[in-house]
């Protein structure tokens, strides 16, 4: 029986990639390096250490990752003001989960700074969830199951009692490896690539009822 829902953040509740990309480009420009949006694509969803560090490595630039992340987040929190919006159905679905008496958690590869700023901006603050897990809390990133195992543990449930909502192939693999059932959204990848999920839909405004009744 389902007792909890574990939400990925980017691509599920909001789409922040364009904004963190813009912030990182500004940060790199301060260091005298001109980078392009496509430079970041191989590192999307891997957490900011790799997202920023991978691009720095590509151009042979040595950086203090904590300092450049802090500077990137400084720009990010300003850029998202009035611009970052919840994805369709996100707020209503989160509230409906609470109305059903389900435990809810966010499990994101993003750092806590980005997670908290993004959730606050879209009107679903982190305090609304029973627990959150950010990318700094686990050693092994998706597709490893660690982040969803930790999220289930934090809300006091077994993984098999949890539904994971994901938009990425690596996230679906992480959910299945953790022993959770998975609902995939087609916000980032073509439906044909998400076939390992138990259910697939367009966004949180169109969640199949059977994904919440098992």
Residues noted as catalytic: 8, 10
Instruction: Report whether 86 contacts 13 (CB < 8 A).
Output: yes
Angstrom distance (rounded) from CA 195 to CA 46 = 21
H/E element, 173: helix 169-178
Task: Measure the CA dihedral 8/167/28/85, to 10°.
Answer: -70
Backbone angles phi, psi at 199, to 5 degrees: -140, 155
Q: How far is CA 51 from CA 5, 31, 55, 124, in A?
A: 27, 17, 7, 24
Sheet holding 4-7, edge to edge: 131-133, 103-107, 4-7, 162-166, 181-185, 199-201
Backbone angles phi, psi at 145, to 5 degrees: -80, -5
Say if strands 131-133 and 162-166 run parallel, antiparallel, or are unpaired.
Answer: unpaired
């Amino acid at each position: 029986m389902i007792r909890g829902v574990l939400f990925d953040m980017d691509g599920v509740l909001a789409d922040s990639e364009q904004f963190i990309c813009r912030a990182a480009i500004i940060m790199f420009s301060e260091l005298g390096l001109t980078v392009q949006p496509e430079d970041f694509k191989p590192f999307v969803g891997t957490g900011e250490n790799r997202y920023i560090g991978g691009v720095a490595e590509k151009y042979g630039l040595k950086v203090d990752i904590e300092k450049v992340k802090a500077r990137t987040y400084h720009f990010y929190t300003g850029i998202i003001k009035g611009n970052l919006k919840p994805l369709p159905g996100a707020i209503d679905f989160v509230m409906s989960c609470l109305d059903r008496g389900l435990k809810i958690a966010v499990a994101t590869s993003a750092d806590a700074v980005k997670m908290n700023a993004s959730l606050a901006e879209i009107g679903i603050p982190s305090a609304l969830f029973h627990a959150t897990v950010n990318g700094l809390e686990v050693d092994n990133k998706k597709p490893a199951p660690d982040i969803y195992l930790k999220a289930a543990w934090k809300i006091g449930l077994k993984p098999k009692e949890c539904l994971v909502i994901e938009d990425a192939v690596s996230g679906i693999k992480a959910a299945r490896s953790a022993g959770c059932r998975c609902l995939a959204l087609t916000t980032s990848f073509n439906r044909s690539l998400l076939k390992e999920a138990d259910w697939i839909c367009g966004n949180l405004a169109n969640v199949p009822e059977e994904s919440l009744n098992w």
